[in-house]
Amino acid sequence: MPTHRGPATEVVAIGVIGAEPFVHRLAAVAREDSTTAHRLVTAAYEREKHAREAAMRIADDVDVLLFAGPLPYDVAMSHGALPVPATYVPTGGVALPTALLRGVLGGAVDPARVSIDSVLERDVRETYVDLDLPSDEVHVMEYHDNVSPEQFFDFHQDLFAAGRTSGAITTVPSVAQRLEDAGTPHLAMAPAALTLRNALRTARLLGSGARLEDSRIAIVVVRLPSSFLPQRTSASNYWYQELRLSLHRALLPDARRMDAAVLERDEHSYLVVTTLGSLRSATSNFARAPFLGSIAEVLTVEAEVGIGLGRTTLEAEENAEQAVTQAGDSGGGLAYLVGPQGNPVPLPATQEAPTPAQEPAEDPHRETLRQIVGALDDQDDASRIVDAERISRIQGVTLRTARRTLRTLVDAGLAWPMPPARAQKVGRPPIRYQLLDERLGT
């Protein structure tokens, strides 16, 4: 049974995706932290282009995926969303000065005449200033989601062949291998242990959040349409009693598959109580409606199906009532889902039918991030690290709305949670988020 779909547990299963040396190194760092409840499931690849294939091999067995860097992460995400939340180990940080020091001590490259990939140019320049090294002949190629390993290799190789550098510093294992094959001096810039530990903490946060999300209550109301209701329900309405029993029997197979309880709600409807994770799995991540297909096979009646999600049973049932009313008003053929945000989403009986729920929802999220980043720029804040209180002040909204905004950005791959800062006062420290404004493009 997949960890992220099974019973609640304190152990977070983290899938580690990367080249074999990275996988072994991160596993060694993870083993050092024996006090944290986590389990690693690893999948190594030889080339970054195989990142998604490696991730899909283990996706059913983990709560979250952790990629070796932004390049394999973007390769995996470029073919569609992954079944579980995902994040990656950031480039740069203390890895750059460490690589430069290795270059000086080992004589592999001259740090003053070198090409560097993946790292932000401003970080490179600031590092050289801090180390009191000249950077006039240092060439940088930043990573963007449309940059390939081949482009990184050509960048390094062309500069070296022209005599403009003494060698290369790369974060991409396949690029390092090609430079080795070409006889070009180079250093592999691997993430520092501190960076790996922080990435593991971030992965645990995402995995825990996803598991808690999947354990939320989901309630489905299945109701007979009003046009089939007798004016007075009584034991003498045998045909109607038989119809209700047939509806109940039609619900049971799907309910068993999602480990749900089927309860009589009133004379005209049933409640199906389950968890969000089970419902998500049974509906292919809400690509189709539950029960509509099986009911149509057994009955000649198009039942009305409404799905409610919520943090409590009461909230989920209220949302389910709103959803089934919407289904009744729509005239049949569609179920409706209503979550905590209150927006009804139509779901078809079969996965092939197009629905608004399958439309990409990145544009509004990117616009939200763009507005937040613009406000941070106006305040001369280039850190791109915020918490809910900061977002609340920027957007002029409540803390609850700000937290929802940050979670939405995380779900859209435009931010990722960071370990809380050290508490300066009594109480639980707020969760900080790293905004990924580089994903906005130009």
End-to-end distance of the chain based on CA atoms, in angstroms? 43
Supply the DSSP string of 141-183, one letter for each residue. Answer: EE--TT--HHHHHHHHHHHHHTTS-S-EEES-HHHHHHHHHHT
pLDDT in tens, 258-296: 888 888 888 889 999 988 888 888 888 788 889 988 888
Supply the DSSP string of 312-365, one letter for each residue. Answer: SHHHHHHHHHHHHHHHHHHTSSEEEEE-TT---EEEESSTTS--GGGS--HHHH
With bands split at pLDDT 50, 70 and 90, how would you rate the model's confidence at 8? very low
Work out the angle between the directed axes of helices 173-182 and 149-161 (0-180°, nearest 10): 30
Cβ–Cβ < 8 Å for 22, 29 = no
99 and 168 together in one domain: yes
Q: Which of 211-220, 316-325, 358-367, 417-426 has the lowest mean pLDDT?
A: 417-426
Alpha-carbon distances of 146 from 52, 152, 282, 318, rounded to whole Å: 16, 11, 35, 45
Last residue of a domain, one of 179, 213, 247: 213
177 and 291 together in one domain: no
pLDDT in tens, 92-143: 778 889 889 888 888 889 999 999 999 989 989 999 998 999 999 999 999 9
302 and 228 together in one domain: yes
Q: Which of 26-35, 55-64, 140-149, 295-304 has the lowest mean pLDDT?
A: 26-35
* pLDDT of amino acid 234: 52
Place of tokens 């691997």: 190
348 and 388 together in one domain: no
Q: For Cα atoms 9, 13, 15, give the angle at the middle one, nearest 5 degrees.
A: 165
The CB density around residue 232, as the number of other CB atoms within 10 Å, is: 8
293 and 226 together in one domain: yes
For residue 270, what is the enclosing H or E element?
strand 269-275
DSSP 213: H
Alpha-carbon distances of 310 from 214, 274, 412, rounded to whole Å: 11, 12, 21
Beta bridge partners of 387: 432
Cβ-count burial of 300 within 10 angstroms (0-12 exposed, 13-18 middle, 19+ buried)? exposed
Query: Is residue 248 predicted with pLDDT exceeding 60?
Result: yes
* CATH number of the domain encompassing residue 373: 1.10.10.10
Provide the mean pLDDT of the chain.
83
Q: State both tokens at 92.
A: 């740069």
* pLDDT of amino acid 351: 55
Q: Is 207 helix (H, G, I), strand (E, B) or coil?
A: helix
* CATH number of the domain encompassing residue 52: 3.40.50.2300
Give me the percent of the chain exceeding a pLDDT of 90: 34
* pLDDT of amino acid 236: 54
Contacts 24+ apart (CB under 8 A), 146-149: 147/71, 149/47, 149/48, 149/71, 149/174, 149/175, 149/178
Residues with Cβ < 8 Å from 156, sequence gap 6 or more? 115, 117, 165, 168, 170, 175, 179, 184, 186
pLDDT in tens, 197-238: 888 988 887 887 766 666 678 899 999 887 666 655 555 567
> Which of 44, 33, 89, 50 lies closest to 66 in space, CA to CA?
89
> Which of 282, 348, 336 lies closest to 309 in space, CA to CA?
336
Q: State both tokens at 36.
A: 């944290």
* pLDDT of amino acid 437: 83
Report the C-alpha gap between 191 and 18 in whole angstroms. Answer: 12
CA 311 to chain CA centroid, nearest Å: 20
Task: Provide the domain count of the chain.
Answer: 4
144 and 176 together in one domain: yes
In single-letter form, the type of residue at position 90 comes to P
Query: Is residue 427 predicted with pLDDT exceeding 90?
Result: no
* pLDDT of amino acid 310: 79
The torsion of the CA quartet 34, 36, 37, 38, rounded to 10 degrees, works out to -80
249 and 352 together in one domain: yes
Q: Which of 91-100, 157-166, 181-190, 422-431 has the lowest mean pLDDT?
A: 422-431
Last residue of a domain, one of 358, 375, 403: 358
Report the C-alpha gap between 25 and 9 in whole angstroms. Answer: 26
Ranges assigned E (strand) in 379-425? 385-387, 415-418
* pLDDT of amino acid 355: 41
* pLDDT of amino acid 322: 93
307 and 335 together in one domain: yes
Cβ–Cβ < 8 Å for 432, 386 = yes
Cβ–Cβ < 8 Å for 195, 93 = yes
With bands split at pLDDT 50, 70 and 90, how would you rate the model's confidence at 361? very low
Place of tokens 């995402």: 206
* pLDDT of amino acid 24: 87
For the segment 347-357, the average pLDDT, to the nearest whole number, is 59
404 and 261 together in one domain: no
Q: What count of residues does the chain have?
A: 442
* CATH number of the domain encompassing residue 141: 3.40.50.10660
Beta bridge partners of 14: 40, 64
Report the C-alpha gap between 286 and 358 in whole angstroms. Answer: 9
* pLDDT of amino acid 6: 40
Range of the domain at 259: 216-358
Residues with Cβ < 8 Å from 146, sequence gap 6 or more? none
* CATH number of the domain encompassing residue 251: 3.30.70.270
238 and 109 together in one domain: no
102 and 148 together in one domain: yes
176 and 202 together in one domain: no
With bands split at pLDDT 50, 70 and 90, how would you rate the model's confidence at 91? confident
Cβ–Cβ < 8 Å for 433, 439 = no
